[in-house]
Amino acid sequence: MSGSASVTRFDAFRLARQGGRLSGTFDARRLPNVEDVLAPGEDPVPIAWTLEGRASEEGPAALAIGISGSVPLLCQRCLGRVDWPVKQDTEVLLAADGRELARLDEASESEVILADRPLEVAMLVEDELVLTLPFAPRHEGNCPPRP
Ligand SMILES: [Zn+2]
């Protein structure tokens, strides 16, 4: 684990100005909106995350969110466990207030998030993970025989 693994919230605009990078690992079983769709078990499900601030002269401040790992899901065909690889990189724009949020949302294809206060790492990782997971996961090809 990196030295910043204990970071739980951060100032996104400052990270963007500094071009800073944070990283760490989360247990997906501890993210309430993800826990529901995981195959039951006690084993931790580590998701590695990185947050990278980006600022440009031209555009608004942005945050690159990266997640990677493998999550156990339930196959919708045989109800067995499928280990689903996760690797997602997304860039979101940062809005300082509601007005800027509306303006950026209109002007850009990218997702815009309100960063008028420190952001929660867990919330960002959870949102990304929820968007990445398939609605109806299945084993590729044939399902393995039940034990
Ligand atoms: Zn299956």
138 in a structural domain: no
Ligand 1: distance of its center to the CA of 21 in Å? 38
In the reported structure, the alpha carbon of residue 84 is separated from the centroid of ligand 1 by a whole-number distance in angstroms of: 12
Q: Please check whether residue 88 is in contact with residue 67, taking contact to mean a CB–CB distance below 8 angstroms.
A: yes
Is the pLDDT score of 106 beyond 70?
A: yes
- Residue 78 Cα, ligand 1 centroid: separation in angstroms? 4
| C-alpha pair distances (Å), 65 with each of 53, 54, 95, 121 | 9, 11, 16, 10
- Report CA Rg, the chain: 17
Question: What is the CA(147)–ligand 1 centre distance, in A?
Answer: 12
- Ligand 1: distance of its center to the CA of 86 in Å? 18
pLDDT at 55: 85
Please report whether residue 27 resides in a domain.
yes
Q: Is 111 within the bounds of a domain? A: yes
Distance from residue 75's CA to the centre of ligand 1 (Å): 5
Q: Number of folded domains in the chain? A: 1
Residue-wise pLDDT tens digits, 53-91 = 998 666 789 999 999 999 999 999 999 999 999 999 999
Rounded to two decimals, the pTM is: 0.87
Range of the domain at 61: 9-132
What tokens appear for 22 in the block? 């944070």
Quote the longest CA-to-CA distance of the chain.
59
Tell me what the pLDDT averaged over the chain comes to: 91
Cα–chain-centroid distance for residue 59? Answer: 23
Ligand 1 center to 37 CA (angstroms) = 15
Reference 47, options 27, 62, 18; nearest CA is 27
